[in-house]
């Protein structure tokens, strides 16, 4: 069973984009870039309002993108950042799992927030979720990819686990295969931040 990771909506008011399930013509590679990127290689995020288990989830998602070589891009936790990571109601259980909103100006990302739907059946541990649970670490890795400026992958690497791209537009319930980045995910970050 597959579920969409995030809903697609594109807003131009105040230069905000909500990353989601938009698809463009598939390029020769599987990744898609949203367009804008940060004007720095070190981006801060704020997870201080989350419970300790959710703070670990956010740290895990951020670390997947921080450890991409040779890219110098890093996510750094800072409780004073306006790039907030939160949990709140989105659309109830069984729908949208999380939403990343990216603000930009002049082709540069100025802010990004991530909101996880509080109504979902989340697994926040580091082992394997139950067959009906959503792996928060996999979704976190996906959302931090959007926060860096990466869109959804084309369908080529989105068919099955274990080598499923982290940036696929859907999630396989009960799986952990999107926790770690595949070559296509890493190539996307290296294209944005060489």
Cβ atoms 77, 45 nearer than 8 A: yes
CATH number 3.50.50.60 is the correct assignment for the domain at 2-188: no
- Exposure string (b/e) for 47-76, b if CB count within 10 Å is 16 or more? beebeeebbbbbbbbbebbbebeebebbbe
**Mean pLDDT throughout 44-68?**
97
Which sequence spans correspond to the domains of the chain? 2-188
pTM score over 0.85 = yes
* Neighbour-count burial for 129-160, b at 16+ CB within 10 Å, e otherwise: beeebbbbbbbbbbbbbbbbbbbbbbeebbee
pLDDT at site 140: 98
Predicted confidence at residue 29, as pLDDT, reads 66
Is pLDDT at 36 greater than 50 in this prediction? yes
pLDDT tops 50 at residue 8: no
Is the bond leading into 162 cis (omega within 30 degrees of zero)?
yes
Phi and psi angles of residue 88, each rounded to the nearest 5 degrees, phi first: -165, 170
**Average pLDDT in the 94-111 region?**
94
């Amino acid at each position: 069973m597959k579920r969409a990771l995030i809903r697609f909506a594109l807003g131009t008011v105040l230069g905000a984009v909500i990353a989601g399930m938009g698809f463009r013509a598939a390029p020769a590679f599987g990744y898609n870039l949203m367009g804008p990127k940060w004007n720095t290689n070190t981006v801060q995020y704020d997870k201080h309002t989350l419970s300790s288990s959710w703070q670990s989830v956010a740290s895990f998602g951020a670390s997947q993108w921080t450890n991409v070589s040779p890219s110098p891009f890093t996510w750094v936790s800072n409780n004073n950042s306006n790039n907030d990571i939160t949990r709140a109601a989105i659309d109830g259980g069984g729908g949208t799992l999380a939403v990343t909103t990216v603000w930009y100006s002049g082709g540069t990302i100025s802010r990004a927030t991530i909101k996880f739907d509080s109504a979902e059946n989340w697994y926040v541990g580091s082992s394997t979720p139950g067959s009906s649970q959503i792996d928060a670490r996999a979704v976190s890795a996906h959302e931090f990819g959007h926060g860096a400026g990466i869109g959804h992958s084309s369908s080529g690497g989105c068919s099955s686990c274990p080598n499923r791209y982290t940036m696929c537009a859907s999630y396989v319930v009960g799986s952990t295969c999107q926790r770690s980045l595949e070559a296509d995910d890493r190539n996307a970050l290296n294209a944005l931040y060489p």
